[in-house]
Amino acid sequence: MSEVGESEKADRSEPYAAAAGSAVSKVFISYASQDKAVADAVCQALEQAGVACWIAPRDVRAGQSYAAAIVEAINSCPMLVLLLSQGAIDSPHVLREVERASSKRRPVLSVRMDAGKLPSDLEYFLSANQWLDASGRPIEQILPALIESVGRHDDGQAGRQALDASSPAAGSVAAPVSSAAPAKSLPRWGTHAISVAVAVAALGLGYVLVNKFWLSKHVAAQRPATAATTVVSDKSIAVLPFTDMSEKKDQEYFGDGMAEEILNLLVRIPGLTVIGRTSSFQFKGKNEDLRAIGAKLNAAHVLEGSVRKSDERVRISAQLINARTGAHEWSETYDRHIDDVLKLQDTIAAAVARELQIAVASGYLNERSTVKSAVAYDLILRGRHASDRWDKEGEEEAVTLFRQALDRDATSSDASAELAFAYYKLGVGNFLTPAAAFEQARRAATTALRQDPKNTLAHYVLGKIHIVYDWDWDAAEREVHEVATLAPGSADALNGGARISLTLGRWDDALRQVKAALVLDPLDANAFQALTEIQIGRGHLPEAEAAIRRLLDIRPTYAWGHFYLGLILLERGDRKPALLEMQQERTDEEQLEGLAIVNHALGRNADSDAALTKLIKEHADVAAYGIAEAYAFRGQSDEAMRWLERAYTQKDPYLVYLKAEWPQNSLAAEPRFRAFLRKMKLPA
């Protein structure tokens, strides 16, 4: 009932250690655009065996920067792997890449994917190199032989080898079919170790390929759903919080703010997938390998940096890292006056886009020359830092700081939008009555949009207000559409759309949108809370349980987390475990509601009455919906309806979950309940 708000490390030590002695440490993969998924699968198999990959981009226009990147990549890779399909034969990019590799005396491993006729120019460059024949068979069958072929390479000495398409297994390469020199002995890690690497990579990639090419076509498969499975895009990036390098270590808020501002600029760029702030900031202060972070976040690149602020000067260092290889792709250090910090953020975002070979149209990155008040800007960043705590004290501190920022710069749309968001959090956290919280949030968001009609956060907050307070679904959808238009790479619009569909009981649409949001923000606890509600509404309790347990893995102190898990266990018949979960709930009103419900189910009526009495006495002004829910679970429909009406009068924000939660079932036969749904503009 709230939006308050690691996966385990993949154990790759054995295949990485096994491949550590390979002479070929990195390969360039050339392919046709229609074979991108196969190229990704081959790259993942090689990387599991300890060989880094550079996959040629195929979704950019040829140009000087593109050509320079290709030349540099081929020069740095000891070997080229060519996925030779008819599309590759017809591609001028592929021919140039093969020609460049040959001119640098780089060996080429050609994987024949179909029976396309080889033209004379390609035949000239490929005739003395290795071949694998994958014609008519799934690529996963060729992966062990491909990895072994790469492993057999030593200092560029390649024999031409062929794999017979009729071979019963693809785990070994046939004897050479030409008089070229035989491959040298394997490096010191030996044949057993490479077999381990091949086996692990082949098993892993078999799963990846089945998941991608088969499960993607059978999305109705019954399994616990958490986040959507996705192939990592080359044009994807995670922005980590910038490290505080100041002498006093008191600039953490400034480093977080710089990273967030750059992230907010990047999500405006079409064609770029930007991992959400919630997930990226999970790694703050953790000394974790950037390749592991990229894998956990489904990001091909990671932007990290540091800040050092002293008086009116700021030094910012930023570096772009390839999350597949760990290689530095770009880095820069800037010394600026604090007044130029906004322009500096634009500069960094534009540099990242250039390095990722994404053209940025005019207007996507707004050139902002200076801040109008350095003090106001500093107050905004301090306010964001406080608001991130999602508790009463943090939000109240944030409100104070944002108001002080507006006193310094009354024209700051960012300060107004952040003020709106802080008041919204006070409302959904039950820290203020709905009328007090959401009306002030509305005024601040409206002010922000007068100051800047393209302020994404202001549109986002207004959409939230229309959902939880106005119950105006059409207006909410208009604001969600604005967010999607202004920030196409953000998960916010998807999450907003999922909330609207969840409220209206459009389960399939809600599920699609929240899974898409989790691709962009895979560690977002709020999205997993929505996913839990959606699966409850669909009647899929195992999937709901998987989602709420994942939420608690990500954020063990999440308010309402144990309450939801307790309700799911109770519905399953596990009453005592449900009671234990309710006892762990950290939010007082939800713990009391949960104890009233579970103790009633256990036949402990005195304990149930005591919890419900205390809930009414202490929280009636902000928990009317929860009180109604407790009465509904206890089978007291008259009291449940009375408190639902009170929740309606109080504009309780949690009424929006009515279609997804159990009162919908226990009160479904009540004509009064169907009339209440119609009054809420919800499907009866």
Domain boundaries, the chain: 13-217, 236-371
Inter-residue contact 512 to 530 (CB < 8 Å): no
- CA nearest neighbour of 366 among 346, 380, 395: 346
The stretches of 452-601 forming alpha helices (DSSP H) are: 456-465, 473-486, 492-504, 507-520, 525-538, 541-554, 561-572, 575-584, 588-601
Binning pLDDT at 50, 70 and 90, where does residue 13 land?
very low
Query: Which range is least confidently modeled, 91-105, 276-290, 310-324?
Result: 91-105
For residue 33, with 0-12 CB atoms within 10 Å meaning exposed, 13-18 middle and 19 or more buried, which class applies?
A: middle
Chain segment 512-537, per-residue pLDDT in tens? 999 999 999 999 999 999 999 999 99
Inter-residue contact 187 to 55 (CB < 8 Å): no
For residue 195, pLDDT over 50 is answered with: no
Chain segment 330-356, per-residue pLDDT in tens? 999 999 998 888 888 989 998 998 898
Note the pLDDT of residue 161: 37
Please state the rounded mean pLDDT for residues 569-587: 95
For residue 637, pLDDT over 90 is answered with: yes
Q: Is 549 helix (H, G, I), strand (E, B) or coil?
A: helix
Please state the rounded mean pLDDT for residues 413-422: 97
Note the pLDDT of residue 437: 96
Note the pLDDT of residue 370: 59
Binning pLDDT at 50, 70 and 90, where does residue 3 land?
low
Across all residues in the chain, what is the average pLDDT?
A: 81
What are residue 157's DSSP bridge partners?
154
CATH number for the domain formed by residue range(s) 236-371: 3.40.50.10070
More confident residue, 86 or 182: 86
Q: Which two tokens stand for residue 91?
A: 């591609």
Q: pTM for the full model? A: 0.66
Note the pLDDT of residue 232: 66
Among 74-78, 144-148, 169-173, 430-434, name the most confident range. 430-434
Query: Which range is least confidently modeled, 229-233, 251-255, 424-428?
Result: 229-233
Inter-residue contact 541 to 568 (CB < 8 Å): yes
Integer-rounded Cα Rg, in Å, for the chain is: 29
Give the CA count within 13 Å in the CB-facing half-sphere of 69.
20
Among 156-170, 228-242, 370-384, 447-461, name the most confident range. 447-461
More confident residue, 294 or 106: 294
Q: Is 617 helix (H, G, I), strand (E, B) or coil?
A: helix
Please name the fold of domain 13-217.
Rossmann fold (3.40.50)
User: Rounded to 10 degrees, what is the CA torsion of 338, 344, 346, 351?
Assistant: -160
For residue 16, pLDDT over 60 is answered with: no
Domains 13-217 and 236-371 share a fold: yes
Note the pLDDT of residue 140: 73
Please state the rounded mean pLDDT for residues 410-438: 95
